[in-house]
């Protein structure tokens, strides 16, 4: 399981279109939107490469000015099971 928190800055005139495009992306959830075009987003993917691809794809959405990963959590299921057994 991999979860990333991403701050997306979008053109404030296109904020609704950007939000709609982002929520259509698998694994992407929009948690907050400001009037000046900032979106708080999480991305959840099982595969690290897919996570990286998804975060990079945020940059390619029309109306997105920037996307910065501000938090990342990764947990391998084997590590998690070992932690539980302790």
Return the pLDDT at 84: 56
How far apart CA 14 and CA 10 sit, in angstroms, is 7
Predicted TM-score of the model (pTM):
0.81
| Count of the separate structural domains present in the chain | 1
Q: Which domain range does residue 59 map to?
A: 2-85
Return the pLDDT at 51: 85
For the stretch 1-11, pLDDT in tens is: 789 999 999 99
Is the pLDDT reported for residue 53 higher than 60?
yes
Residue pair 4/42 in contact (Cβ under 8 Å)? The answer is yes
Across the range 55-59, mean pLDDT stands at 91
In angstroms, the Cα distances linking 47 to 12, 37, 44, 51, 80 are 32, 29, 9, 6, 16
Domain containing 49 — which CATH number?
3.30.70.920
Mean pLDDT over the full length of the chain:
88
For the stretch 61-85, pLDDT in tens is: 999 999 999 998 887 655 555 555 5
């Amino acid at each position: 399981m991999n979860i990333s928190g991403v701050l997306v800055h979008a053109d404030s005139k296109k904020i609704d279109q950007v939000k709609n495009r982002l929520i259509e992306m698998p694994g992407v959830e929009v948690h907050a939107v400001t009037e000046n075009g900032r979106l708080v987003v999480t991305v959840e993917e099982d595969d690290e490469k897919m996570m990286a691809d998804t975060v990079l794809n945020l940059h390619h959405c029309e109306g997105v000015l920037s996307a910065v990963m501000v938090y990342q959590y990764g947990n391998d299921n084997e590590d998690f099971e070992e932690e539980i057994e302790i």
